[in-house]
Amino acid sequence: MFTGLVEGKGTIVRIDKPGQEARFHIRPAFKMDDLKIGDSIAVNGACLTVIDIHNNVFSVELSSETLSRTTFSNVQPGKEVNLERALRFGDRLGGHLVTGHIDTTGVVTGRQEKGSHIVFSFSLPSNWMQYLVEKGSVAIDGVSLTVNQCLENGFSVNIIPHTAHVTTLGQLKVGDKVNVETDLIGKYVARLLSAWQDKQTGLTEAFLKEHGFW
């Protein structure tokens, strides 16, 4: 589990693709002295497992499922990525609950400078829009953000100067693809409601009695 508060950036220095999977070798731009083999780490929002550490470079493996869900299928060595180690019990939850399980990818459709801030708009596949609400949470490339506005085919967010500096979001331009994880709570609520809607056409007296409200 993660918070979406990126610790810093790293650079993918080598990519191995032995088959349908891939192995990334990443050099962090900040100290990670306590990183151990077996640790979970979010790389641009995707939860991955550290399998090797050598000379300040750690390695992670990506399954075919991860490659199909994320922007990593076309990534090249030299790309900067956002890094966050897993949340520990007792840590402050400054962002929101982020699982590191990427739902889909979005595309930058707009970038507008407003003073020192940047307003981004993203397109998103329509089936994922139901999990976004205005002023709700979303993770973009592993960064916890607040949804400014839900648009017809996407959404917008505001990036403060600090976020633009310490993450890769400040480098985004129109047409770039990003990893998107929608709100965890929203997905569970939608799942529960869909199960209820499959059985009920409305809030009836029978339904209330069955569930102890009568």
Residues 50-64 pLDDT 10s? 999 999 999 999 999
Which residue reads 């030299």 in tokens?
78
pLDDT, tens digit, for every residue of 59-104?
999 999 999 999 999 999 999 999 999 987 777 777 788 999 999 9
Q: Does some domain include residue 211?
A: no
Number of domains, the chain: 2
Q: Residues 35-41: what's their mean pLDDT?
A: 96
Q: What is the pLDDT of residue 190?
A: 76
Contact 132, 183 (CB under 8 A): yes
How far are the Cα atoms of 54, 134, 143, 145, 178 from residue 4, in angstroms, in the given order? Answer: 26, 18, 5, 8, 14
Q: Does some domain include residue 95?
A: no
Final residue of a domain: which of 40, 58, 85? 85
- Looking at the chain, the whole-number percentage of residues with pLDDT higher than 90 is 75
Contact 6, 142 (CB under 8 A): yes
CATH number at residue 154: 2.40.30.20
Q: Which pair of tokens denotes residue 128? A: 């994922």
pLDDT, tens digit, for every residue of 174-188?
999 999 999 888 787
Phi, psi of 153 (to 5 degrees): -130, 30
Final residue of a domain: which of 85, 115, 145? 85
Q: Are residues 108 and 32 in the same domain?
A: no
Q: What is the pLDDT of residue 185?
A: 82
Contact 203, 197 (CB under 8 A): no
Computed over every residue of the chain, the mean pLDDT equals 90
Q: Which pair of tokens denotes residue 71? A: 């922007």
Q: Quick one: which of 115, 102, 109, 123 has its CA closest to 180? A: 102
Q: Residues 148-155: what's their mean pLDDT?
A: 94
Diameter of the chain by CA atoms? 67
**What span, in angstroms and rounded, lies between the C-alpha atoms of 109 and 37?**
38
Range of the domain at 173: 104-192
Q: What is the pLDDT of residue 198?
A: 55
